[in-house]
């Protein structure tokens, strides 16, 4: 069972994507049915909890400043509960697992979607996939890791009927 705690802190989310809860649920379930690490975790624990906060640039800027030392908004922040000083820790089999928290900045998402000629819903879905993969221990610091994570994102988004978000606008 995947337990999603979804909170909207900004009323604009209801206008931009009124069905955001169903989009999040469908997206997270696609990650857990497509990503090998996610599927393995899902099969070994009785429940998985993820908290998702739909916020705004100012709130995300403060979190980004306080937790990452970057005093500017970003599209999504991932706070992985399994991420330790020694690296990502596989959840304990048989016990409930809190994977972590995702926080998304609405205005940044809008700007990026417009700049990249993507729909708001498609870019939102991509960010949910991206953030969930971070909660599962994936990162894009090293080129090899970035390639692996990007390939997973493309595959999951394809399963959801969304084209490769890394192609240039107008590209194939």
Tell me: is residue 126 an annotated ligand-binding position: no
Task: Please indicate if the annotation marks 134 as binding a ligand.
Answer: yes
Q: What does residue 148 show for φ and ψ, rounded to 5 degrees?
A: -65, -45
Task: Evaluate whether 132 touches 28 at the Cβ level (below 8 Å).
Answer: yes
Distances (CA, A) of 2 to 20, 26, 114, 147: 17, 11, 32, 27
Cβ proximity of 81 and 157 under 8 Å = no
Residue list, annotated binding site: 130, 134, 140
Annotated binding site for Zn(2+): 130, 134, 140
């Amino acid at each position: 069972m995947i337990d999603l705690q979804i909170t909207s802190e900004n009323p604009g989310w209801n206008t931009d994507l009124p069905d955001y809860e169903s989009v999040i649920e469908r997206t997270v379930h696609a990650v857990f049915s497509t990503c090998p690490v996610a599927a393995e975790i899902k099969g070994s624990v009785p429940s998985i909890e993820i908290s998702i906060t739909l916020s705004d640039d100012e709130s995300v800027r403060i979190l980004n400043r306080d937790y990452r030392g970057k005093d500017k908004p970003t599209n999504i922040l991932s706070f992985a509960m399994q991420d330790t000083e020694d690296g990502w820790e596989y959840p304990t089999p048989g016990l409930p697992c809190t994977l972590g928290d995702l926080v998304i900045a609405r205005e940044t998402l809008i700007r990026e979607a417009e700049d990249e000629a993507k729909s708001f819903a498609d870019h939102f879905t991509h960010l949910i996939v991206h953030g969930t993969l971070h909660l599962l221990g994936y990162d894009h610091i090293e080129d090899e890791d970035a390639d692996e994570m990007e390939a997973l994102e493309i595959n999951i988004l394809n399963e959801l009927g969304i084209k490769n978000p890394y192609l240039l606008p107008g590209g194939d």
